[in-house]
Amino acid sequence: MSRVVKLAVIPGDGIGPEVIAEAEKVLAAATAGSDIRFDKTRFELGAARYLATGDTLTDDDLDAIKAHDAILLGAVGGVPGDPRLKDANIERGLLLRLRFELDHYVNLRPARLYPGAPGPLADPGAVDFVVVREGTEGPYVGNGGSIRRGTAHEVANETSVNTAFGVERVVRYAFDLARRRDRRLTLVHKTNVLVNAGSLWQRVVGEVATQYPEVAVDYLHVDAATIFLVTNPGRFDVIVTDNLFGDILTDLAGAVTGGIGLAASGNINPDGAFPSMFEPVHGSAPDIAGQQKADPTAAILSIALLLDHLGLASEAGRVTRAVEADIGARSAAAPAAGRTTAQIGDAITARLQA
Amino acid sequence: MSRVVKLAVIPGDGIGPEVIAEAEKVLAAATAGSDIRFDKTRFELGAARYLATGDTLTDDDLDAIKAHDAILLGAVGGVPGDPRLKDANIERGLLLRLRFELDHYVNLRPARLYPGAPGPLADPGAVDFVVVREGTEGPYVGNGGSIRRGTAHEVANETSVNTAFGVERVVRYAFDLARRRDRRLTLVHKTNVLVNAGSLWQRVVGEVATQYPEVAVDYLHVDAATIFLVTNPGRFDVIVTDNLFGDILTDLAGAVTGGIGLAASGNINPDGAFPSMFEPVHGSAPDIAGQQKADPTAAILSIALLLDHLGLASEAGRVTRAVEADIGARSAAAPAAGRTTAQIGDAITARLQA
Ligand SMILES: CC(C)[C@H](C(=O)O)[C@@H](O)C(=O)O
Ligand SMILES: CC(C)[C@H](C(=O)O)[C@@H](O)C(=O)O
């Protein structure tokens, strides 16, 4: 009896298709011989599609994607400053729309420094934490506007919207995760300035904490958190934070743990009402697109997150260990060691097949 | 004919009084024999004052402070979690109130890696940039609120307010500064998500840039900026950004350039309508207060910024060089080398007197 997973694949723009090709090889190798089968549908979405058709994400696209069990996304976004994209906001219209419409309230971003991975810190120590970034609220809601636009009297507002419902569900997820890990949870916010949103986050964490007495809780202002990320990243186990602070902290965390060429993420709807989406944290990097220069590792680690999400923990573990072995074999001086995108993907695939 | 500068001194809480004592020594030494005289008034403001009297910053305090030419501030804030401070927000009520009431629209935060300064990066290269952080708008305006507070239906909002007037004046300041420095200016924002505020910032920078053809302009999303701060901080000359992004970037920049024990700042009203305020970026650190453990260097470098602001560039330069020499003599292994706060202050003072 085989299980069929309907997987929507959105290779996207720039290096997206290149890294997704490797991720798909790894997915196949990791599940070969198992009773799981992936029924894949490709969706050609992104800047290229917008330029060709004027569409970013139609309602039909969205309905079709919703009919899947999970989504694998490469990267979306055109060449910065392309005048033809001036009126499009591919990020908001496609990536953020998917996160919001599919209620991806958990944006899961592990930060682990693999032995052998290059990094900017002189003495990072062991780094292994997860950022649980809220994905459907906060400053990302698109609740802003401007008046007297283009005049000397313009006023432009952006409103961060935070709800008890939205904060509690992601905080609960973070506590559950912390309980399965090293049982330490850090709330990051800016409660001394953003007093209303900050107070809500702090009260919710305080209340949920009473149900997780085994989890040690602390709090850091976002500015202080960035300091610790470079001076003592080992202090973190699970960080829970809002959409914008999570965006900032995870790019920094990616840099600290070997670069965003290694950083994977899951946009998760834990309720299962909608398909969850797995994607590298990096963007489409149009400047190196089509040249086989991109590191597919972040996309491949996103496969591990996907497998984990599907309950295939042992397959996920195999992917992670194959990546770990590949990274360990890289030389610190030349991380990609002259290998093409496909060569890195093939090397990791070969380890899985060995 | 001697010039008298009326200086308001707010030592504040925790380590504030200790570091300010050293800063005052340095100020005296740097201006000894010159025709400038400081007429100082002390203001006992902060958590301790609030606990004693219930006042954070009265209108009388504010009026008295306004009658000065400049302000030197140590640090304010009580012990985190002190229940007696539960209903007070010393940061908002005192520090931010001063910045807003005194129209400190430029929050100037230099980030320079002094030779010999310890830092977390393996290979930082030369680091010497300045963050021009907007100080009177953005997410800091306190324009938020919540409904159904304490219930499962609570909604907490925070509105970032950005005006053409407010953005333009700080952007212009940043361009002027870039012109006097290495002529490179980086706007940091999150224009792909905060589209209204981001668009305003981007358009203003674009317009002002036409008047500074000699300044090269680029743009980074805030998340990407944090990556560069740890992988290539040497790429920056002048960063201009909003109040919240500036808060985050400058703590990170402080960490990268030897820790916030070295990071100085000026809250500047360039129009001269109100006194500007100089303060270390660090907080009151109540855990080490009164133990002579704090590094007064950030407060002392704030004196250099104060002197510069008063037009005393050569005195400012002498302070900076004395600090530079002191840092250069520190050992990387033990930055404070067992010295007390006063010993560091005395050593820097002695270099000025030599
Ligand atoms: C592309 C952008 C909208 C997105 C975000 O800000 O969430 C990206 O930076 C990320 O972190 O996935
Ligand atoms: C204390 C706090 C309100 C303040 C800020 O956020 O501006 C501090 O972090 C700073 O950077 O000066």
Residue A160: which of B123, B157, B226 has the nearest Cβ? B157
Which of the listed residues A189, A193, A245 should we mutate to test ligand 2's pocket, taking the one with most ligand atoms within 8 A of CB?
A: A193
A223 is catalytic: yes
Taking the C-alpha atoms of residue A317 and residue A307, their distance in angstroms, rounded to an integer, is: 9
Taking the C-alpha atoms of residue B186 and residue B131, their distance in angstroms, rounded to an integer, is: 9
Consult the annotation and say whether A284 binds a ligand. Answer: yes
Whose CA is closest to A110, among A204, A7, A246?
A: A246
Taking the C-alpha atoms of residue A42 and residue A170, their distance in angstroms, rounded to an integer, is: 30
Contact B250 A223 (CB under 8 A): yes
CB B37 within 8 A of CB B101: no
Q: Which two tokens stand for residue A274?
A: 């909608």
> Residue A100 — pLDDT band, cuts 50, 70, 90?
very high
Consult the annotation and say whether A293 binds a ligand. Answer: yes
Residue B145: which of A196, A244, A256 has the nearest Cβ? A196
Give, as one character, the DSSP assignment of residue A96. Answer: I
CATH for the stretch B1-105+264-354: 3.40.718.10
Task: Ligand 2: list residues with CB < 6 Å.
Answer: A 192-193, 223; B 91, 95-96, 247, 281
Contact A121 B121 (CB under 8 A): yes
The whole-number pLDDT of residue A334 equals 59
CATH class of A120-128+138-256: alpha beta
CB A295 within 8 A of CB A344: yes
Give the residue-averaged pLDDT of A57-64: 97
> Residue A330 — pLDDT band, cuts 50, 70, 90?
confident
CB B119 within 8 A of CB B258: yes
Give the residue-averaged pLDDT of A170-192: 98
Q: Which two tokens stand for residue A43?
A: 């969706």
pLDDT averaged over every residue in chain A: 96
Taking the C-alpha atoms of residue A230 and residue B119, their distance in angstroms, rounded to an integer, is: 9
Whose CA is closest to A241, among A204, A266, A283, A282?
A: A204
CB A11 within 8 A of CB A42: yes
The whole-number pLDDT of residue B86 equals 83
Q: Which atom of ligand 1 lies closest to the CA of A247?
A: 11
Residue A181 clears pLDDT 80, i.e. is over it: yes
The whole-number pLDDT of residue B166 equals 98
The whole-number pLDDT of residue B334 equals 59
The whole-number pLDDT of residue B332 equals 60
Mind giving me the DSSP string for A197-234?
HHHHHHHHHHHHHTT-TTSEEEEEEHHHHHHHHHH-GG
Mean pLDDT is lowest, of A225-239, A327-341, B17-31, for A327-341
Contact A161 B155 (CB under 8 A): yes
Contact B244 A190 (CB under 8 A): yes
Residue nearest to atom 5 of ligand 2 (CA): B247
> Residue A270 — pLDDT band, cuts 50, 70, 90?
very high
Residue A283 clears pLDDT 90, i.e. is over it: yes
CB B116 within 8 A of CB B327: yes
A251 is catalytic: yes
The whole-number pLDDT of residue A332 equals 60
Q: How close is the Cα of B305 to the center of ligand 2, in Å?
A: 18
Grouping H, G, I as helix, E, B as strand and the rest as coil, residue B220 is strand
Helix A16-31 × helix A297-309 angle, to 10°: 50
pLDDT in tens, chain B (354 residues): 689 999 999 999 999 999 999 999 999 999 998 999 999 999 999 999 999 999 999 999 999 999 999 999 999 999 988 999 987 889 899 999 999 999 999 999 999 999 999 999 999 999 999 999 999 999 999 999 999 999 999 999 999 999 999 999 999 999 999 999 999 999 999 999 999 999 999 999 999 999 999 999 999 999 999 999 999 999 999 999 999 999 999 999 999 999 989 999 999 999 999 999 999 999 999 999 999 999 999 999 999 999 999 999 999 999 999 999 999 998 765 555 689 999 999 999 999 998
The whole-number pLDDT of residue B336 equals 59
Distance from chain centroid for Cα B10: 15
> Residue A71 — pLDDT band, cuts 50, 70, 90?
very high
CA distances from A289 to A71, A76, B89, B254 (A): 22, 12, 50, 35
Taking the C-alpha atoms of residue B119 and residue B332, their distance in angstroms, rounded to an integer, is: 9
- Consecutive H or E run containing B39: strand B36-42
Query: B224 in ligand 1 pocket by Cβ < 6 Å?
Result: no
Q: Which amino acid is at A206?
A: G
Q: Which residues, including other chains, have CB under 8 Å from residue A281's CB and lie 6 or more apart?
A: A109, A250, A251, A254, A260, A263, A264, A265, A298
Q: Which amino acid is at B92?
A: R
Whose CA is closest to B108, among B281, B315, B235, B311?
A: B281
B25 is catalytic: no
The whole-number pLDDT of residue B329 equals 92
At the topology level, CATH places domain A1-117+259-354 in Isopropylmalate Dehydrogenase (3.40.718)
With tokens 């496969």, the residue in question is A303
Give the residue-averaged pLDDT of A236-241: 98
Mind giving me the DSSP string for A23-36?
HHHHHHHHHTTSSE
Sheet holding B155-163, edge to edge: A138-147, A155-163, B155-163, B138-147
The whole-number pLDDT of residue A278 equals 98
Q: Which amino acid is at A185?
A: L
Q: Residue B224 CA: which ligand is closest?
A: 1
- Tell me which CATH homologous superfamily contains domain B120-256: Isopropylmalate Dehydrogenase (3.40.718.10)
Taking the C-alpha atoms of residue B274 and residue B55, their distance in angstroms, rounded to an integer, is: 22
Instruction: Tell me the percentage of chain A whose pLDDT exceeds 90.
Output: 93
Topology alike, domains A1-117+259-354 and A120-128+138-256: yes
Positive or negative CA dihedral for A137, A142, A147, A149? positive
Whose CA is closest to B23, among B38, B34, B36?
A: B38
Residue ranges of domains in chain B:
1-105+264-354, 120-256
Distance from CA of A199 to the nearest CA of B (A): 9
